[in-house]
Structure 1
Amino acid sequence: MKFLCTYFSANRFPPMMLIGCSAVLLIIMCTLSISIGTRVVAWQDIINGLMGSVATMEEASVAMRLPRTLLALLAGSALGISGAIMQSVTRNPLADPGLLGVNIGASFFVVIGLVWFGLSQMSHYVWLAIFGAATTALFVHVISAIGHDGATPLKFALAGAATSIAISSFIMAVVLPRNDIAGSVQSWQIGGVGGATYGSITLILPFLLIGGLLSLTVARKLNTIALGDDVAMGLGESVTRIRIHAWLAAVLLAGATTAACGPIGFVGLVVPHLCRLLVGIDNRWLMTLSALCGANLLLAADVLGRILARPSELSVGIVTAFIGAPFFIWIVRRQKVKAL
């Protein structure tokens, strides 16, 4: 790991080449996601399934996997961009929608709406998840900013971890007495794309599009505040407005994804960090590459989960945790990574 990071840091690649390679890999991963599962399908079945035919079991399998593949693509892209924004705004290599409690905050509000208020529509879940993500993000930021040294990377990580643990415990306390929904809620809490439908994708798509557009418009301004708040203000930028703009984009992306998939962790941590080693700190390239690589990672995790536990499957959240936990430990152990 140390050798690879040293090599990539010293040998930056042309951004367009990396984006092109990532796009080609994304096509391959989408094909694998459609073709691999309990029932392996042939090329002709894939083509027929994409054309809408469900005459055979194989073609029906392709039709069922299409929304799952699309949701994994969208969710991975959203989490990759959200993580890149959070790391840039906080200048913290440990920032991630999962580690900062944003994902668990979104799921907390969804669970409360389900258990206490009987809300069961996906349209309700989206709004609850976004509001929960925003509330938790604000809470973690306020807690980590307390003290004379402000919001340091370590304080961000500790505040996010403590908040996540507290909210997770509260969710369990609320859900366990409800035997009628405990199983489904606990399964959703793991995070996955197995229950994807075109209806759920349609509901979250507007929020993902708005979040994506906001991230594109704020990318150049994030480059400015990376030079320092004083320099950014000297160039006529409103630092507070830029941060609010960026956080809004990150919360929309993470909240909408959590509503559809549950809290999937570590994608927003691993992907932007590796992409930054490849293309540097220019957020315009970083967010684009993070979106592609995030989609590739989530699709790969979904396919791997189907292969490892065949004929059953492992949820995406479990696979990404196996990938992300060692990576998180490695980042923490790097003494020179204190801030971006």
Structure 2
Amino acid sequence: MGMSDLTEQINKDDIGEERTRLRSRPLAASLILIGGTIALVLGMAVSVSFGAADIEFITVWQAIFAFDPTLTPHQIIQELRLPRVLGGAMVGASFAVAGALMQGMTRNPMADSGLLGLNAGAGFALAICFAFFPGMPFMYIIMYSFIGAGVGAGLVFGVGSFAKGGLSPVRLVLAGAAVSALLAALSEGIALYFRIGQDMAFWYAGGVAGTKWNQLEIMAPWVGLAILAAMMLSRSITLLTLGEEIAAGLGQRTRLVKLAGTIIVLVLAGSAVSVVGAVGFVGLIIPHLTRYLVGVDYRWIIPCSAVLGSLLVMLADLAARMINPPYETPVGALIALIGVPFFLYLARKERREL
């Protein structure tokens, strides 16, 4: 047997072992996609109906399918609540899919756009936009968010690469925390100096209350294309989770896959942050929950993460309006109540494994 045949046999044995140990569950994934979608639609109906103004469900139905601009309840539904709910769903899907891709590409269970500097980078770019280019169209703002997310990620990986012993998951998160703190401080300094604190306040709090139709019209194609591209890349991401050597042995161009995945993550994170602000932990919690339910096949993980991420942010936004009406609790704070303990659990688990 030649060396190439031996290597191929070893790779096949390794892959067989991994697939046996980490089996996917398509039935569970199908149930999540169907049940999650139904829950998402029902949750949207409840969320659109609930608010400071008490509006009956029949009025909501009429406002959506037989809109009358002369009626105030119809205007509230169409101009305020509906874009808010749809924006929350898109943002949740964006953060969740971005987190799933990052965890798959880096094989880092603590990878998340908020923990690795992408959100802070996008927020820094927004501060620059508000300070130096007031009144900029949202299309350009979202582009700057992509660039800012890329700068944040680049700084994190650059700082983390200086760590002795390489980029372990914990070291990468520590670098992310340091860079995120620096970028957040710079953003606050810009906000104070240029007196744009009110414009930046929504970003620090994190929420979908101010979402407008024009934002969704610009954001939706980016998010839709990025999630579609992520699903097309899903098989390659699954192979990357087995190790770069195995993926390369199966003919995968690992560098090209990582480059494509990184671009998708920047688009998703930048789009979400430009609309909702500093909402973290969605991309940390949802991919872990999804992998626990459906296994490690990213052909199932990515669509299921999108559905569950949408559901999480939508329910968090609904809870934010119910806790202390008529005032609203920041959505980011509610999700952090779940995300911080989950992050500490993962960090402790990774420390034991070092």
Change (3 A) 1:234 1:168: same
SS in 2 for 1:40: coil
CA distance in 1, matches of 2:113, 2:353: 19
55, 59, 66: which one aligns with 1:41: 55
* Aligned twin of 1:59: 74
Instruction: Give the structure-1-normalised TM-score.
Output: 0.91
| Structure 1 residue 303, shift from structure 2 partner | 0.3
Residue 32 (structure 1) aligned with residue 33 (structure 2):
no
CA contact (8 A) 2:104 2:240 kept: no
Residue 104 (structure 1) aligned with residue 120 (structure 2):
yes
Kindly provide the amino acid, as one letter, of the partner of residue 215 in structure 1: A
CA contact (8 A) 1:93 1:337 kept: no
| Structure 1 residue 46, shift from structure 2 partner | 1.2
Kindly provide the amino acid, as one letter, of the partner of residue 32 in structure 2: L
Any unmatched runs of 5+ in structure 2? 1-21
Which deviates more from structure 2 when the two are superposed, residues 224-233 or residues 156-165?
A: 224-233
Kindly provide the amino acid, as one letter, of the partner of residue 44 in structure 1: I
CA distance in 1, matches of 2:309, 2:75: 28
CA distance in 2, matches of 1:188, 1:259: 8
* Aligned twin of 1:267: 282
Q: Deviations over 1:39-78 (max 9, x none)?
A: 2321211111112135544333322211111111111111
SS in 1 for 2:329: coil
SS in 2 for 1:162: helix
Residue 90 (structure 1) aligned with residue 112 (structure 2):
no
Q: Equivalences for 1:200-211 in 2 at 5 Å?
A: 200-211=215-226
* Aligned twin of 1:328: 343
CA distance in 1, matches of 2:189, 2:313: 30
CA distance in 1, matches of 2:198, 2:51: 24
For the aligned residue pairs, the C-alpha RMSD in angstroms reads 2.1
CA contact (8 A) 1:100 1:160 kept: yes
SS in 2 for 1:196: coil
Which deviates more from structure 2 when the two are superposed, residues 170-179 or residues 293-302?
A: 170-179
Q: Equivalences for 1:1-340 in 2 at 5 Å?
A: 14-51=28-65, 52-63=67-78, 64-118=80-134, 120-147=136-163, 149-179=165-195, 181-335=196-350
Q: Deviations over 1:255-307 (max 9, x none)?
A: 01111221211111111111111111111111111000000000001000000
| Structure 1 residue 121, shift from structure 2 partner | 2.1
* Aligned twin of 2:13: none
Kindly provide the amino acid, as one letter, of the partner of residue 41 in structure 2: I
| Structure 1 residue 253, shift from structure 2 partner | 0.5
| Structure 1 residue 189, shift from structure 2 partner | 2.4
CA distance in 1, matches of 2:55, 2:353: 48
Change (3 A) 1:307 1:119: same
CA contact (8 A) 2:24 2:295 kept: no
Q: Deviations over 1:25-48 (max 9, x none)?
A: 111211111011112321211111
SS in 1 for 2:61: helix
CA distance in 2, matches of 1:49, 1:18: 30
Any unmatched runs of 5+ in structure 1? 1-8
CA distance in 1, matches of 2:57, 2:220: 29
Instruction: Give the structure-2-normalised TM-score.
Output: 0.88
Aligned residues: 330
SS in 2 for 1:14: helix
| Structure 1 residue 222, shift from structure 2 partner | 0.7
